[in-house]
Amino acid sequence: MTDTTFETDRTPTRFGPAQAAVLVAGARGTYARGVTKPLAWRERQLRALRRMLVDNGDLLCEALAVDLGKSATESMITEIGFTVNEIDHTLRHLRSWLRPERVPVPVTLPFAKARVIREPLGVVLVIAPWNYPVQLALTPLAGALAGGNAVVVKPSEVSRASAHALSQLLPAYLDQDAVHVVEGGVPETTALLAQRFDHIFYTGNGAVGRVVLEAAAKHLTPVTLELGGKSPTYVDDTADLEAAARRIVWGKFTNAGQTCVAPDYVLATREVIDGLLPLLTQAIGDFFGDDPASSPDYGRIINDRHFDRLSNLIDPARVASGGGCDARNRYIEPTVLDGITGDDLVMQDEIFGPVLPLVEVAGIDAAIDFINERDQPLALYLFTDDAATRRRFERETSSGGLGVNIPLAHLSVPDLPFGGVGPSGMGAYHGRASIETFTHAKGVLRQPTRPDSTALVYPPFAGVKQRLVQLLLSPRRRR
């Protein structure tokens, strides 16, 4: 285990435009020498990254507890174990994902062979958020390494203990010429964004996502944006309300609600809300006890700014459960609000905290309309036992992902691409989708010079050649 401390007032070494230019140039030189391209190198890096997580699990859990008040068990499930599973899945399938793919050729190219090969992009920048600072830095890193790229990782300065731990651990385990970690805040990120990268992967809010996209446009750099939004949950009258309540509470209050795909609010008829509400309160008590502040399994808000923002969303007149706040400890009790409408303050932006509004709708038509009148969410959840209702949500709504009778869990399926749509993001990753994101699919055509079958398309066009072209390429023939 590496000796790492978590001083929250520690100032990182200065990193400005000059240092950023040198760092990126060094990473580009490593890539240009072909260091990162061999499959053996990629597999070694992935195994080393896995070993880093296993060797230093306790240290990373300590950092996550400092930053977010996470329990060690939650950290192992949602951060360390999650990333290890992603690495294991990638190692099992990487060779097959990278295998060249044969594709058919048209009749006008007899004897030709065509295939698609995946080549690395070059130097990738990964900008990670603070809410899952280990998982959301290392899972994209694993994908970029599997793709054969050099990588610069920029952890969030908000989760300072975790950022410092990663800055110490990654160089100790990975190729220091190909993988770099930059600590710091806005100035450091700005310095990096001024450089030319071959791909930028950003996870965070839409406001910063626009800044990233604008910076990338100057170099025509492709970007993956993993953003967020208000992920709705619709519960109908066929659902098992007890199971729905427990799963909604788990999905909403994991990491104290600071999860980009947490159920942001619940839509249901008045009858369903009346049945669901006491079950939500019961589930909160079952999970976190009568005093969640003393529960070892309930986290804290990341900083004072977010605490103030969240506490201002709690209207005491609408509190159906919870509502307690302690600014000194950045604690907000798991809170359920009832009688909320689309015009209320709590419904204007992504909540990103432990506050769950219940919004009454007349039924499925009104719920779908309510969702479709707003930005496409990163996730949408549906609790129902009715197949027709499920099919309607699949066909009539748009979201990054759809979870039926369970929230959050779609992230844990490596073969499901994870990403947003519209304002909730662009691009996807996890499993094979990470390889597709962090590599270029290059088409390769090989045609022998003898016999010269290409002569069919050489001018002049007359006689037999003209008739063959008309026979083979006529639009009428292709109908």
Q: Which long-range contacts (CB under 8 A, 24 or more apart) does 470-476 make?
A: 472/107, 472/108, 473/108
Residue 436 lies in a domain: no
At 140, which CATH number?
3.40.605.10
- Identify whether residues 189 and 56 lie together within a single domain: yes
The whole-angstrom separation of Cα 244 and Cα 279 is 9
The whole-angstrom separation of Cα 126 and Cα 203 is 8
Tokens encoding 408: 């959050």
- Identify whether residues 347 and 408 lie together within a single domain: yes
What local confidence, expressed as pLDDT, does residue 4 receive? 56
How much is the pTM?
Answer: 0.94
Inter-axis angle of helices 135-146 and 39-55, nearest 10: 160
- Identify whether residues 47 and 195 lie together within a single domain: yes
Residue 452 lies in a domain: no
Non-local CB neighbours of 41 within 8 Å, separated by 6+ positions: 35, 148, 175
Residue 467 lies in a domain: no
Closest residue by Cα to residue 379 from 275, 461, 259, 203: 259
Residue 90 lies in a domain: yes
Number of domains in the chain: 2
The three-class DSSP label of residue 301 is coil
The last residue of one of the domains, among 228, 247, 282, is 228
What local confidence, expressed as pLDDT, does residue 7 receive? 53
The whole-angstrom separation of Cα 308 and Cα 214 is 30
Residue 4 lies in a domain: no
The whole-angstrom separation of Cα 145 and Cα 325 is 43
At 266, which CATH number?
3.40.309.10
The whole-angstrom separation of Cα 100 and Cα 113 is 12
The last residue of one of the domains, among 402, 418, 434, is 418
**Are 280 and 248 a contacting pair, CB within 8 Å?**
yes
- Identify whether residues 211 and 348 lie together within a single domain: no
What local confidence, expressed as pLDDT, does residue 6 receive? 53
- Identify whether residues 243 and 128 lie together within a single domain: no
Instruction: Return the sign of the alpha-carbon dihedral for residues 6, 7, 8, 11.
Output: negative
Closest residue by Cα to residue 325 from 334, 333, 314: 333
- Identify whether residues 196 and 52 lie together within a single domain: yes
- Identify whether residues 303 and 410 lie together within a single domain: yes
- Identify whether residues 302 and 401 lie together within a single domain: yes
The last residue of one of the domains, among 228, 255, 278, is 228
- Identify whether residues 207 and 325 lie together within a single domain: no
Where in the sequence is the domain holding 47, given as residue range(s)?
17-228
What local confidence, expressed as pLDDT, does residue 1 receive? 46
- Identify whether residues 195 and 73 lie together within a single domain: yes
Whole-number CA gyration radius for the chain: 26
What local confidence, expressed as pLDDT, does residue 13 receive? 66
Residue 445 lies in a domain: no
Closest residue by Cα to residue 461 from 474, 470, 452: 470
- Identify whether residues 80 and 26 lie together within a single domain: yes
Residue 471 lies in a domain: no
**pLDDT per position in the chain (479 positions), as tens?**
455 555 545 555 678 999 999 999 999 999 999 999 999 999 999 999 999 999 999 999 999 999 999 999 999 999 999 999 999 999 999 999 999 999 999 887 888 999 999 999 999 999 999 999 999 999 999 999 999 999 999 999 999 999 999 999 999 999 999 999 999 999 999 999 999 999 999 999 999 999 999 999 999 999 999 999 999 999 999 999 999 999 999 999 999 999 999 999 999 999 999 999 999 999 999 999 999 999 999 999 999 999 999 999 999 999 999 999 999 999 999 999 999 999 999 999 999 999 999 999 999 999 999 999 999 999 999 999 999 999 999 999 999 999 999 999 999 999 999 999 999 999 999 999 999 999 999 999 999 988 887 777 788 878 877 787 777 777 765 55
Residue 371 lies in a domain: yes
- Identify whether residues 379 and 322 lie together within a single domain: yes
Which active-site residues does the annotation give?
226, 260
